[in-house]
């Protein structure tokens, strides 16, 4: 087992990465034993992993309860959250109850937000079962639900007490989801570690074949980079925003297509190409780098072009959707751009140039 | 103007107390100028104070928007919260938008929780207009909405950036609400400052007559005590729980009667008598102190006896309601008890003794 620590003032926690991780030992080491444990999962993940996890938790907790949500981003809503609250209250869960998010990004985000706000905050543990969640969403404390007018608009920065990335759970992950998770892995190279991008260029086929040591390196290095960024800037006042490389365009794609049509990672993949192209047109990076990044994204089996969201005024529709992004300020869209390979910068760009990029990179 | 500082690590903020406070100056001093300000209020308070506040805010912000909620605890719900979120999104409010809670505890709690969770947190300012809010709920960062199964069950610890207690707003406060606010003032004596209780015994009539300097002292001293307690223990891991003196019984009264039938302060008043009586029966305080506290509560025009919630098994109904209190642990009710005048302790008590107290103090 490999372990990465997140250091946030006095709230330090571990990310355990490996196979056959001793969950009981990790919980005891994090001083999380209590009366009740509540596992939140979805029907698909629950079927695969729930019995094993519950059996382990029963060694540490007096009572282990399970909440199964329907699967999918479209259920990351107030209704699902309220279902969790009602269950917790009906079970008389107190402030010492520990919640466990067993699943991908949706389960992690909603469980984290439930833990952040139930009785003003109870401890929770992330048990991510998708590559996306292991390399990105389970680490760093961003929790949220969607609002009909915007994704992740209601949420909190709330750190888990422990993250356990069991690589075994990736065995059953559908290939489309593995590819989508890879988008967030690819992201780390251009913004922070060009050496990691080089390694990926040589290893992407192994990763897609679920080679054990390649997967382990992918999760470890991604968590290390994310942990470093988050420890510099927990609340996204500055540096942390670079983790949203590709996300401004990507969120517009997800929203414009209707959530769930494109997976988050698929939107981010096409969005990274667009953000790299915008960087090039602003003179920050050369064409060779854009081609190199595009090639890696294509080899991962991810889209390199954005969809047409509006046949009449596609760029206008993208701009409209991007203006309600959480990073926008006073209606000005903030883009994460590549300022030379391995370095990111957050800045605005002229609408006309953004339109050119959208026209060139969609369809 | 008098000012109290709350010191929480790196998140220090001021509580300004006085008449005709320079709101513009206070906002500028707190570095809160931005594009948009959103004032949340209710219909009654809005009619009295909204125009004046909006005019001042327009000196600092490019745009000032107002959300009016219906008045009352029964609207401290997800529906009201979602109405705020929808308005913020429709107005394209970004992370720099500053929210202002203009009203009593309900407006403050719901606005604070909206600010805590909109885009994972935006700045907010408390402009409390009731005595209860000025001496208690606007200070310390507790925010929440109610769940059908329990009051304040969904919320966050989220500090305002500034609290402005304008004593002028108390002029129009109905006497019943002034009395209810006094319950939270009376509370500070038994738990932390017996000298303040003595002062109140000599000044309660002046306070009820809205004597200017008496009101100022009430708000100042209450904020000082609360600021001291909260700075010791922001997240209610220990000491902060003493601020809930009278609240365990009080919450049961509010819930049992149906929210809004008894005001929060009225429930707390009767609850303090019950908690004091329980302290006496546990040998922590003498009968003379219980009588003294009961007399002060009576002079404030507040109830000294709890209502009968269930004619068949009143004590059983109270116990049932108290078991879902946020301070309970593993089903064990934690009471804030008086351990000698001016000192509080949090502990459990035998059910049989609690039943005796309820039987003696209700009806």
DSSP string across A18-38: ESS--HHHHHHHTT---SEEE
**Cβ–Cβ contacts within 10 Å for residue A307, how many?**
16
Q: How far apart are the first and last CA of chain B?
A: 44
- Concatenated DSSP letters of A295-328: HHHHHTT--SSBPPS-SS-HHHHHHHHHHTSTT-
Q: Would you call B244 a catalytic residue per the annotation?
A: yes
pLDDT band at A260 (very low <50, low <70, confident <90, very high): confident
Which residue does chain A place closest to B120, by CA atoms? A156
Q: Do domains B2-172 and B175-361 have the same CATH topology?
A: no
CB within 8 Å: A94 and B330? yes
* pLDDT given for residue B9 in this prediction: 63
For residue B147, the SS3 value is strand
Partner residue opposite B89 with nearest CB, options A9, A153, A235: A153
Give how far Cα B4 sits from Cα of A26, B221, B244, Å: 43, 9, 21
In chain A, beta strands by DSSP E: 2-6, 13-18, 36-42, 63-69, 98-103, 124-128, 142-147, 150-157, 162-166, 335-338, 344-347
Which chain A residues are Cβ-neighbours of B147 within 8 angstroms?
82, 85-86, 89
- Whether the CB-CB separation of B41 and B102 falls below 8 Å is answered with yes
User: What's the mean per-residue pLDDT of chain A?
Assistant: 94
Which residue does chain B place closest to A237, by CA atoms? B95
CB within 8 Å: B144 and A120? yes
- Whether the CB-CB separation of A330 and B94 falls below 8 Å is answered with yes
Q: Would you call B82 a catalytic residue per the annotation?
A: no
Mutate to test the interface with B, among A117, A148, A333 (most CBs of B within 10 A): A117
- Whether the CB-CB separation of B160 and B245 falls below 8 Å is answered with no
Q: Which of B83, B187, B221, B251 is catalytic?
A: B251
Residue B120 in tokens: 């994972």
CA A106 to chain centre: 9
CB within 8 Å: A117 and B117? yes
Give how far Cα A296 sits from Cα of A182, A197, A204, A302, B74, Å: 10, 9, 8, 9, 55
Separation of alpha carbons B228 and B200, rounded Å: 20
Give the fold, CATH level 3, of A2-172: Rossmann fold (3.40.50)
Please check whether residue A142 touches B, CB under 8 A: yes
pLDDT in tens, chain B (363 residues): 777 877 776 678 889 999 989 999 999 988 887 799 999 999 999 999 999 999 999 999 999 999 999 998 889 999 999 999 999 999 999 999 999 999 999 999 999 999 999 999 999 999 999 999 999 999 889 999 999 988 899 999 999 999 999 999 999 999 999 999 999 999 999 999 999 999 999 999 999 999 999 999 999 999 999 999 998 888 888 889 999 999 999 999 998 998 789 999 999 999 999 999 999 999 999 999 999 999 999 999 999 999 999 999 999 999 999 987 777 777 789 999 999 999 999 999 999 999 999 999 998
Please check whether residue B118 touches A, CB under 8 A: yes
Which residue does chain B place closest to A151, by CA atoms? B119
Instruction: List the CATH code of the domain at B175-361.
Output: 1.20.1090.10
Residues 42-71, chain B, touching A (beta carbon < 8 A): none
- Whether the CB-CB separation of B115 and B141 falls below 8 Å is answered with no
Partner residue opposite B156 with nearest CB, options A116, A150, A236: A116
**In the beta sheet, which residues pair with residue A103?**
A128
Partner residue opposite A156 with nearest CB, options B120, B153, B330: B120
Partner residue opposite A78 with nearest CB, options B78, B147, B330: B78
CB within 8 Å: A94 and B157? no
- Whether the CB-CB separation of A28 and A56 falls below 8 Å is answered with no
Q: Would you call B184 a catalytic residue per the annotation?
A: yes
The residue with tokens 């003196």 is B245
pLDDT band at A9 (very low <50, low <70, confident <90, very high): low
Separation of alpha carbons B331 and B58, rounded Å: 50
Non-local CB neighbours of B209 within 8 Å, separated by 6+ positions: none
In A72-217, beta strands by DSSP E: 98-103, 124-128, 142-147, 150-157, 162-166
Separation of alpha carbons B102 and B69, rounded Å: 11
**In the beta sheet, which residues pair with residue A345?**
A337
Which residue does chain A place closest to B92, by CA atoms? A324
Any idea what DSSP says for residue A64? E
CA A243 to chain centre: 10
For residue B11, the SS3 value is coil
Separation of alpha carbons A272 and A187, rounded Å: 8
Separation of alpha carbons B319 and B299, rounded Å: 29
Residue A311 in tokens: 């046949």
Q: Is A11 exposed, middle or buried (0-12, 13-18, 19+ CB in 10 A)?
A: exposed
Residue B114 in tokens: 């909206």
CB within 8 Å: B326 and A154? no
* pLDDT given for residue A10 in this prediction: 64
CB within 8 Å: A85 and B119? no
Separation of alpha carbons A168 and A129, rounded Å: 9
Separation of alpha carbons A252 and A317, rounded Å: 9
Secondary structure (H, E, C), B46-67: HHHHHHHHHHHHCCCCCEEEEE
Separation of alpha carbons B320 and B340, rounded Å: 28
Residue-wise pLDDT for A115-156, tens only, equals 999 999 999 999 999 999 999 999 889 999 999 988 899 999
CB within 8 Å: B92 and A119? no
Rounded average pLDDT over A284-295: 98
Chain B: give the shortest CA distance to residue A333, in Å. 11
Mutate to test the interface with A, among B34, B92, B94, B143 (most CBs of A within 10 A): B94
Which chain A residues are Cβ-neighbours of B148 within 8 angstroms?
86
* pLDDT given for residue B328 in this prediction: 74
Closest CA to B105 of B150, B65, B135, B78: B135
Closest CA to B222 of B344, B133, B135, B293: B135
Chain A: give the shortest CA distance to residue B237, in Å. 10
A-B C-beta contacts closer than 8 Å? 102
Q: Would you call B58 a catalytic residue per the annotation?
A: no
Which residue does chain B place closest to A156, by CA atoms? B120
* pLDDT given for residue A205 in this prediction: 97
* pLDDT given for residue A2 in this prediction: 79
Q: How many CA atoms lie within 13 A of A147 on its CB side?
A: 26
Q: Would you call B83 a catalytic residue per the annotation?
A: no
Separation of alpha carbons A357 and A75, rounded Å: 33
Chain A: give the shortest CA distance to residue B2, in Å. 31
Chain A: give the shortest CA distance to residue B156, in Å. 4
Instruction: List the CATH code of the domain at A224-361.
Output: 1.20.1090.10
Separation of alpha carbons A250 and A256, rounded Å: 10
**Cβ–Cβ contacts within 10 Å for residue B276, how many?**
27
* pLDDT given for residue A332 in this prediction: 87
Closest CA to B326 of A156, A118, A112: A118
Output the CA angle A354-A358-A362, nearest 5 degrees.
Answer: 170
Which residue does chain B place closest to A92, by CA atoms? B324
CB within 8 Å: A119 and B155? yes
Residue B168 in tokens: 């002028």
Ordered by start, the domain boundaries in chain B are 2-172, 175-361
Residues 280-339, chain A, touching B (beta carbon < 8 A): 323-324, 326-331
Closest CA to B161 of B33, B60, B35, B11: B11
Partner residue opposite A94 with nearest CB, options B85, B148, B329: B329
Partner residue opposite B157 with nearest CB, options A120, A155, A323: A120
Separation of alpha carbons B184 and B219, rounded Å: 11
Chain A: give the shortest CA distance to residue B235, in Å. 9
Active site residues of A: 120, 142, 184, 226, 236, 240, 244, 247, 251, 264
Closest CA to B111 of B156, B148, B50: B156
CB within 8 Å: B85 and A144? no
Residue-wise pLDDT for A310-356, tens only, equals 999 999 999 999 987 777 777 789 999 999 999 999 999 999 999 99
- Whether the CB-CB separation of A102 and A69 falls below 8 Å is answered with no
Closest CA to B225 of B193, B264, B203: B193
Backbone angles phi, psi at A314, to 5 degrees: -60, -50
For residue B36, the SS3 value is strand
Closest CA to A324 of A222, A235, A236, A255: A255
* pLDDT given for residue B150 in this prediction: 85
CB within 8 Å: A92 and B323? yes
Q: Would you call B142 a catalytic residue per the annotation?
A: yes
Residue-wise pLDDT for B321-345, tens only, equals 998 777 777 778 999 999 999 999 9
**In the beta sheet, which residues pair with residue A163?**
A15, A126
- Whether the CB-CB separation of A278 and A246 falls below 8 Å is answered with no
Which residue does chain B place closest to A119, by CA atoms? B153
For residue A91, the SS3 value is coil
């Amino acid at each position: 087992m490999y372990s990465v620590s997140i250091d946030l003032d006095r709230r330090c926690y571990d990310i355990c990465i490996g196979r056959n991780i001793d969950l009981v030992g990790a919980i005891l080491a994090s001083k999380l034993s209590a009366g009740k444990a509540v596992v939140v999962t979805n029907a698909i993940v629950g079927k695969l992993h729930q019995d094993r996890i519950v059996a382990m938790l029963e060694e540490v907790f007096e009572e282990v309860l399970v909440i199964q949500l329907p699967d999918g981003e479209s259920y990351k809503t107030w209704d699902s959250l309220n279902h969790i609250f009602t269950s917790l209250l009906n079970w008389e869960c107190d402030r010492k109850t520990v919640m466990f998010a067993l699943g991908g990004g949706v389960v992690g985000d909603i469980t984290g937000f439930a833990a952040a706000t139930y009785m003003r905050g109870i401890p929770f543990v992330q048990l991510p079962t998708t590559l996306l969640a292991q390399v990105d969403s389970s680490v760093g404390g961003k929790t949220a639900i969607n609002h009909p007018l915007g994704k992740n608009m209601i949420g909190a920065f709330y750190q888990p007490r422990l993250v356990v990335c069991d690589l075994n759970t990736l065995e059953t992950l559908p290939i489309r989801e593995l590819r989508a998770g890879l988008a967030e892995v690819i992201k780390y190279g251009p913004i922070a570690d060009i050496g990691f991008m080089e390694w990926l260029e040589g290893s992407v086929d192994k990763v897609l074949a679920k080679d054990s040591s390649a997967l382990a390196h992918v999760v470890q290095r991604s968590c290390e980079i994310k942990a470093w960024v988050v420890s510099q800037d927990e609340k996204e006042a500055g540096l942390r925003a670079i983790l949203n490389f590709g996300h401004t365009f990507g969120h517009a794609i997800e929203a414009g297509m209707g959530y769930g049509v494109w997976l988050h990672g698929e939107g981010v993949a096409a969005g990274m190409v667009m953000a790299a192209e915008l960087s090039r047109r602003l003179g920050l990076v050369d064409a060779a780098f854009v081609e190199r990044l595009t090639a890696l994204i294509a080899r991962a089996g991810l889209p390199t072009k954005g969809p047409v969201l509006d046949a009449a005024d596609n760029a206008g529709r993208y701009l409209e959707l991007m203006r309600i992004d959480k990073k926008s300020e006073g209606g000005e869209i903030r883009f994460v751009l590549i300022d030379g390979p391995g370095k990111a910068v957050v800045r605005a760009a002229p609408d006309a140039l953004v339109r050119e990029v959208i026209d060139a990179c969609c369809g």
